[in-house]
Amino acid sequence: MVKKDRVINLFLELVQIDSETMQERRIADVLTKKFKELGLEVLEDDSAAVTGHGAGNLIATLKGNGKVNAEPILFTCHMDTVKPGIGIKPRIDEDGWIRSDGTTILGSDDKAGVAALLELIQVLQENQIPYGDIQFVITAGEESGLRGARALDAKHLNATYGFALDSNGEVGSICVAAPTQARIEMEIFGKSAHAGVNPEDGISAIQVAGKAIARMKLGRIDHETTANIGKFEGGGATNVVTDYVKLYAEARSIVHEKVEKQIAEMKQALDSACHDYGARGEMNSNIIYPAFNHTEEAAVVQLAKQAAGQIGLSGRTFHSGGGSDANIFNGLGIPTVNLAVGYENIHTTSERIKADDIVKAAELVLEIVKAAPTQASS
């Protein structure tokens, strides 16, 4: 029922619409028009006023056709891409892979998912397949830190289960867990002095930072937890004892309490080093998005696995070390898993996706709709 040529041509059309993160206006307008032409109600929220992005999130609603009283479900993708994403020129090679010309990314992250969802709507309507209410949430600003989803108001959502189409891996694989992420900033205030005349009167913020970092456990903390310092700012002339530095770091874990523990241990390392050297330290942390961790028995997982099995896909489940909009939707109270789309080498000019995988993604979401459980009668 999925029309291979149609969904692939739609994907090729979408990736040629410039939509680097912060510049989503054009793609938002195109998608709004496409959803409306298919008869969906479309709302663009006011999140752009908060995020500063080129467009808000699109919430498109396909009302059930009355042939089944199925649970309402939600599908989500993002409309923006990373850089370099201007002037993308896709090509399909003889081996069936779709690539750019090598000067830009391809944009399969996440326009392969968007194409699959638009194909889903057409297949449902053309074949008069029974379906309940379906929401399609196409977010802006995912590539800039899930900013669109983070600004989304839950009042717009009405779904029992959610499915993001935004993971690497073979189509049919299901991400059932992903971590909380905390962003951390640490400042160290030392004391300046002439480095050649009276260095003993100074307190080197750089030296204190080094001692603090040496006391921190970083990298792989355990199988569920990681931490990293990604940026170090400060310093100046070599003849001055540096009196200020700033560190930018993160901590992640599938278990929220482990993130809190890691933050506390990093702060203790900072405080102890500052105490030992007579410096002053300040640390601020902010939870960017919450973790989710669904068991194999969770209804949303079972629904995805059942649909994958119906079309001969693996239904393999896995845990991810990275966040996605699925984290946000789980945090908003909608149990959501992240479905693999099949793209490879994302965020690079070597990005690629098999044409057949876009078709498989459309077939998978179709099976999810067909398998959606019916609501209990009141």
Give the tens place of pLDDT for each residue, 170-222.
Answer: 999 999 999 999 999 999 999 999 999 999 999 999 999 999 999 999 999 99
User: What is residue 340's predicted lDDT score, i.e. its pLDDT?
Assistant: 98
Integer Cα distance of 254 and 224 in angstroms: 6
Per-residue pLDDT band at 374 (split at 50, 70, 90): confident
For residue 163, pLDDT beyond 70: yes
Average pLDDT on 151-169 reads 97
* Alpha carbons 79 and 147: distance in angstroms, whole number: 12
The two structure tokens encoding residue 207? 């030296």
Nearest to 246 by CA among 310, 292, 185: 185
pLDDT at 377 over 70: no
Catalytic member of 20, 44, 119, 142: 142
Is 200 part of any known ligand binding site?
no
DSSP characters over 267-336? HHHHHHHHHHHT-EEEEEEEEEE--EE--TTSHHHHHHHHHHHHTT----EEE-SS--HHHHHHHTT--E
Please say if 142 is a catalytic residue. Answer: yes
As a whole number, the mean pLDDT across the chain is 97
Question: What is the rounded CA–CA span in Å between residue 359 and residue 353?
Answer: 11
Q: Match 């498109």 to its residue by tokens.
A: 60
Residue 378 has a pLDDT of 37
pLDDT at 93: 96
| pLDDT score at 219 | 98
For residue 264, the surrounding DSSP H or E stretch is: helix 256-277
Of all residues in the chain, the percent with pLDDT exceeding 90 is: 98
State the Cα–Cα distance between residues 164 and 175, nearest whole angstrom: 9
Give the pLDDT of residue 376.
Answer: 53
| Segment 254-267, tens digit of pLDDT | 999 999 999 999 99
Domains recognised in the chain with CATH numbers: 4-178+291-371 (3.40.630.10), 180-289 (3.30.70.360)
- Mean pLDDT score, 288-305: 97
109 is in an annotated binding site: yes
Q: Is 153 annotated as a binding residue?
A: no
For the beta carbon of residue 125, count every other beta carbon within 10 angstroms. 14
What mean pLDDT do residues 9-23 have? 98
Specify the pLDDT at position 149.
98
Residues in the chain: 378
Looking at the predicted structure, is the pLDDT value of residue 52 above 70? Answer: yes
